[in-house]
Structure 1
Amino acid sequence: MASKLIWVSPYEVENQLELSLRQAFDILEPKLRPPFSVTIPDPEEYVQLNRAIVYGVLCYPDLAKVYIRYLHALITDGYALYTSLLVGIVNELHCKLVDCAKSQLIWVTKEMIHVSAVGIDGLLVSLLRRIVGGDYGDENVWLCSELASLFLGKWDCLLEDDPLVLTSALYSFLRLLGDHCRFLGIAKLENVRRMESEFCVRMFREQLHLCLKIGRDLLRLLQDVLYIPEFGEIWMDLVLNPCSFRTPGFSDISQIYQSRTSSRYFLLRITPEMETQLRFLLTYVKLGSQMRHQTWFWRKFLSRPEKETILIDIVRFICCAHHPSNKIIQSDVIPRWAVIGWLLKLCRTNYIEHNVKLALFYDWLFFDERADNIMNVEPAILLMVCSVPQYLDITQSLLGFLFRLVDNYDTNRRDMVIRGVSSAFKEVVRKGVISSLDILVTCPGLAPYLKENLVRFLTSHSEGVPLNLLPVNVLSLTPQKHHPSQAKENECGTEAVDIPVPMSDNSCLSPCPSVQNSGQTQADSLQSLVQSLGESLKQSSTKALQSLENVLLSFIRLDNQRG
């Protein structure tokens, strides 16, 4: 018997989930008609009745209300089994569902919200994941519109029974709104944009305490729609008038920056099929054998120009929601940084490239080793270090972008950003992600201003400078190659030793007179500076910091002249 639930090609193997639902309906369909049986079913029959009713509701809309009444009469588990069957259909069969079944799926979801079914939050999250980013086809726009309407229409029920699912909807619709507003010429998006905007504004204005549970990525998404007047006003109130939200405990936007976003939110903008393929690529595919897998992924999910917006969500997912085990990290499986480097090459527009880099570095800006996960910042530093020297343009582009973020992302909270980035640099060395930063500081091909900025940043904005942040070349005055065994030592738990030095002001950045004296060569100056560094350490930490900065900057100048 042909399926009324999904589209099946003539030579396609039968789907086991669909088969189990259809067979249960074929056997039990006579029992689903009034008058209903008043006997309590045994556990096995209870499972079969739930399967039969799921199939009947989705495939026979004219009888759906009759089937649901029977479900209400026999339910004994708070609808947990019934809801789990619906979740399985959404995750496994949604792409194949016939149009009638898709419509019925939304209808029965509303019914489950009405009866406060156990697991309704999981069903709603699964449906949200089915809205594909960068897809402006009729079916995808219809689904987005239906779900936006559902969340607005069931606002009170959800707020009372499952308030946290509203944060998942906010994350999804705020992210989608940023994309939908970039295509103002598409008429069918007008109604969707209106409902997305209405829902998101209502969440900010009425339920900010729920919005805050998303964490710092809430602001990343909000900043993408600030040109929309109502969201610009929300931003201004968050920054200048936080008390207007009447949210106890919220007094400054810095509190949101300091709150890490849970990995479950990053899954919302990745479809189950994308997640499966990405996890397979990052778990089983060997480095050097990834080309055909990447090509297949690109053709399947990214080939159309408008779909490049998904790159932003994929990078955020890889950084924050896929953390490989130590066994995989130490194997020859393609690392996360290599996949992100490939994704960066797929960016066609400056807007997408900017946002992909922001997704890569976002946790750097507010990194706190006490609360943040080192795995979130690992891909960026490894991509910069491992791109030297073969792909130096990537290293320069990323490092330059990071410095521009530090200076411009939030000028009123620049000190917080500096502390975050400094902490990230320090922690990747301390935890052994890389053995030292000398490969960047002493790289001959790296732009001089980037090396000088890196040195000044590391020495001027950190509370302590790890010894292995000092370039090997500076200490020996002879170029040395970094040996892989150094990385192995740190991976085994060897920690860097910190030299406690205070924060320095800009006056410490000017070169000392001995460096500027034209009568001395750069090499002589360096030798003199290194000798004076020991004396400065004995005298005061401030002088030591100034001497250290002068040594590093002088070496960079010498290195550049030799290059």
Structure 2
Amino acid sequence: MDLGKGKGKGAIGSRSRLGFVWMALRLTVAAALEAESAIEASLREAFESLQPSLRPPFSLAIPSPDQYALLNRAILHAVLTEPHFAVTHFKHLHALVTDGYASFVHLILNLVLLLFPKLLPSVKTQLLWATHQTVRLSAIGYDAVLFSLFRHISAADYTEPNLSLCFQLVTLFFEQFHRLLEDAPHLFSFALYTFLRVLADHSRVTLQQLEPLKRLEIHLCVKILREHFHLCFKIGRDIIRLLQDLIHVPEFKAILQDIVYNPSAFNVVGFKFNDVSQIFSTRTSSRYSLLRISPEMETQLRFLLTNIKLGHQKRHQLWFANKFLNEPDKEFLIVDIVRFICCAHHPPNEIIQSDIVPRWALIGWLLTCCRRNHAMANVKLALFYDWLFFDERVDNLMNIEPALLLMVHSVPKYVEITHALLEFLLHLVDNYDVERKTIIVKGVSSAFQLLVRKGVVPSLDILTSCSALNPGLREGLKRLVSGGTAG
């Protein structure tokens, strides 16, 4: 009996040790009863099956394609969970790589896309270290990893993990500046868009721990703008919107003044622009809107806009607000969400013609989540920004559709929304850029005309004949649509 009890204790102890070892190999913070993700299980199982082979001396045998894939998974898991051996694991990878590190980078990308928010802090640290190594090696596909990491920098988030991610990526760009410029110059416009937007948040608060990071972010953005403006130009008109949000920072005020009044200051060989209207006329790609929306947020927004029926969205909106907008400064994230909805989520006709929650309705709800005037003004600007310089030859009708539909559908029950939006639009036309008011009037007028011509609304009578609207607004709208001035 005593031996039996001893065996039992030994078995329990053995199972306990196995459980401890398994937990030590985890990559993510797991909730109770949460199943291990497929990608995490795949990496762990590869590591467990090949663990004896991951210590020198390494085998000199050429692996088969299946063995090569297994080794890549095992080595990545080892890098993430054995930081003290990470350099050795990378040397092992160097010795066997046959595809320019493409398989290894693809595994990193999947982790960033699918698991990044859940990764243990130590694993995140190692993942960023491994990413830095792939950049240093000019590994195939590292640009997709960096793009995805940018998406995980949260707006108006001053927690240590988020600030650390900002710091790591800014530092990476400084340390690998010339390599990145040679391998993946397109990344600089993505980095600039990200850090200009983040700086707007970081400059809004006074936190001592933010100061070193802010100086690095400013230094990087100024370096890109001053030394490689031809790459920045690719962002299009949204670069002006972002710079205007940083007009209180002397370095960016000077850059914006040079863009408007002294473009030759940028000394770009073989590239000329003599008027800021050339930038205004360049539509910003939807990829930049995606940069400021995390993959998780994108999934939730697209689900709401493709699966939920109008009238049944309230609980989904409450869940979204509790998940992503539950802190005071998070209202500043709404500007990014509205740009995403207008520029990057363009539903097909079958969705538009169905009873699924339309984009304008979701934007209307988001406007009610803004508590500060500054945040509200930025959201309205994001909603109307493509109207100001609209040219149907280069711009997308879907970018401007939500604003008109929100104004039209608000008339019966929420005319105050229609009034506020129309008043804001007319104010923009008169004051956004007085020197280029003629261009703006033409853009907004052509936007209205195209929306009617394409049948988005049958006519503008619901606005121009609405007795609940201020007569001055109605007259201003009539003049604007006809191509005259708003005021």
Quote the residue 1:540 is aligned against. Answer: none
Report the Cα offset of residue 208 of structure 1.
0.1
Quote the residue 2:421 is aligned against. Answer: 398
Deviations, residues 471-514 of structure 1 (Å, cap 9, x unaligned): xxxxxxxxxxxxxxxxxxxxxxxxxxxxxxxxxx99xx9xxxxx
For 1:418 and 1:85, how far apart are their aligned partners in 2? 50
For 2:79 and 2:225, how far apart are their aligned partners in 1? 36
Higher relative contact order (CA 8 A, sep 6+): 2
| 2:312 is equivalent to residue 289 of structure 1 | yes
For 1:120 and 1:141, how far apart are their aligned partners in 2? 22
Quote the residue 1:7 is aligned against. Answer: 29
2:260 pairs with one of 227, 236, 239: 239
Quote the residue 1:488 is aligned against. Answer: none
Report the Cα offset of residue 293 of structure 1.
0.3
For 1:182 and 1:253, how far apart are their aligned partners in 2? 27
| 2:372 is equivalent to residue 361 of structure 1 | no
Quote the residue 2:211 is aligned against. Answer: 190
Report the Cα offset of residue 10 of structure 1.
3.6
How many residue pairs end up in the alignment? 463
* Kept in 2: contact 1:6–1:96 (CA 8 A): yes
Quote the residue 1:310 is aligned against. Answer: 333
Report the Cα offset of residue 362 of structure 1.
0.2
1:27 pairs with one of 49, 53, 56: 49
Quote the residue 2:249 is aligned against. Answer: 228
* Kept in 1: contact 2:138–2:183 (CA 8 A): yes
**Structure having the higher Rg:** 1
- Residue identity opposite 1:227 in structure 2: H
1:191-210 equivalence runs, <5 A: 191-210=212-231
1:442 pairs with one of 462, 465, 470: 465
Deviations, residues 68-102 of structure 1 (Å, cap 9, x unaligned): 11111111111111111101111211112112111
Quote the residue 1:413 is aligned against. Answer: 436
Deviations, residues 215-253 of structure 1 (Å, cap 9, x unaligned): 100111011001111111101111111011112122221
| 2:199 is equivalent to residue 177 of structure 1 | yes
1:72 pairs with one of 88, 94, 112: 94
For 2:31 and 2:205, how far apart are their aligned partners in 1? 35
For 2:467 and 2:184, how far apart are their aligned partners in 1? 57
Return 372-381 or 30-39, whichever deviates more: 30-39
For 1:75 and 1:460, how far apart are their aligned partners in 2? 63
* Kept in 1: contact 2:112–2:149 (CA 8 A): yes
- Normalised to the residue count of structure 1, the TM-score between the two structures is 0.81
Cα root mean square deviation, aligned: 1.2
Quote the residue 1:319 is aligned against. Answer: 342
- Residue identity opposite 1:440 in structure 2: L
| 2:233 is equivalent to residue 216 of structure 1 | no
For 1:345 and 1:369, how far apart are their aligned partners in 2? 31
2:174 pairs with one of 149, 152, 156: 152
Quote the residue 1:481 is aligned against. Answer: none
For 2:103 and 2:437, how far apart are their aligned partners in 1? 51
- Normalised to the residue count of structure 2, the TM-score between the two structures is 0.93
2:275 pairs with one of 252, 266, 271: 252
| 2:480 is equivalent to residue 454 of structure 1 | no
Look up the SS of the partner of 1:225 in the other structure: coil
Quote the residue 1:89 is aligned against. Answer: 111
- Residue identity opposite 1:215 in structure 2: G
Quote the residue 1:18 is aligned against. Answer: 40
Return 294-303 or 85-94, whichever deviates more: 85-94
For 1:265 and 1:84, how far apart are their aligned partners in 2? 22
| 2:453 is equivalent to residue 430 of structure 1 | yes
- Residue identity opposite 1:423 in structure 2: S
| 2:144 is equivalent to residue 115 of structure 1 | no
* Kept in 2: contact 1:145–1:191 (CA 8 A): no
Report the Cα offset of residue 33 of structure 1.
1.5
For 1:290 and 1:364, how far apart are their aligned partners in 2? 28
Report the Cα offset of residue 9 of structure 1.
2.9
For 2:245 and 2:232, how far apart are their aligned partners in 1? 16
Deviations, residues 1-25 of structure 1 (Å, cap 9, x unaligned): 2233212234111111101000000
- Deviating above 3 A after TM superposition, structure 1's stretches of 4 or more consecutive aligned residues are none
* Kept in 1: contact 2:151–2:293 (CA 8 A): yes
For 2:178 and 2:334, how far apart are their aligned partners in 1? 35
Quote the residue 2:8 is aligned against. Answer: none
For 1:105 and 1:133, how far apart are their aligned partners in 2? 22
1:266 pairs with one of 274, 285, 289: 289
Return 33-42 or 222-231, whichever deviates more: 33-42
For 1:67 and 1:352, how far apart are their aligned partners in 2? 48
For 2:285 and 2:415, how far apart are their aligned partners in 1? 33
* Kept in 1: contact 2:105–2:142 (CA 8 A): yes
Quote the residue 2:5 is aligned against. Answer: none
For 1:152 and 1:359, how far apart are their aligned partners in 2? 31
* Kept in 2: contact 1:178–1:224 (CA 8 A): yes
* Kept in 1: contact 2:189–2:231 (CA 8 A): yes
| 2:160 is equivalent to residue 138 of structure 1 | yes
- Residue identity opposite 1:47 in structure 2: A
Deviations, residues 382-402 of structure 1 (Å, cap 9, x unaligned): 000111121100000000000
Structure 2, unpaired ranges of 5+:
1-21
- Residue identity opposite 2:327 in structure 1: R
For 1:406 and 1:351, how far apart are their aligned partners in 2? 19
Quote the residue 1:280 is aligned against. Answer: 303
For 2:177 and 2:478, how far apart are their aligned partners in 1? 52
Look up the SS of the partner of 2:245 in the other structure: helix
* Kept in 1: contact 2:406–2:418 (CA 8 A): yes
Look up the SS of the partner of 2:482 in the other structure: helix
Change over 3 Å in CA distance of 1:328–1:460 after alignment to 2 = closer
For 2:483 and 2:260, how far apart are their aligned partners in 1? 28
Quote the residue 1:558 is aligned against. Answer: none
For 1:9 and 1:421, how far apart are their aligned partners in 2? 50
Return 85-94 or 397-406, whichever deviates more: 85-94
* Kept in 2: contact 1:201–1:230 (CA 8 A): yes
Identity value in percent:
54
For 1:307 and 1:456, how far apart are their aligned partners in 2? 38
Deviations, residues 515-554 of structure 1 (Å, cap 9, x unaligned): xxxxxxxxxxxxxxxxxxxxxxxxxxxxxxxxxxxxxxxx
Report the Cα offset of residue 354 of structure 1.
0.1
Quote the residue 1:387 is aligned against. Answer: 410
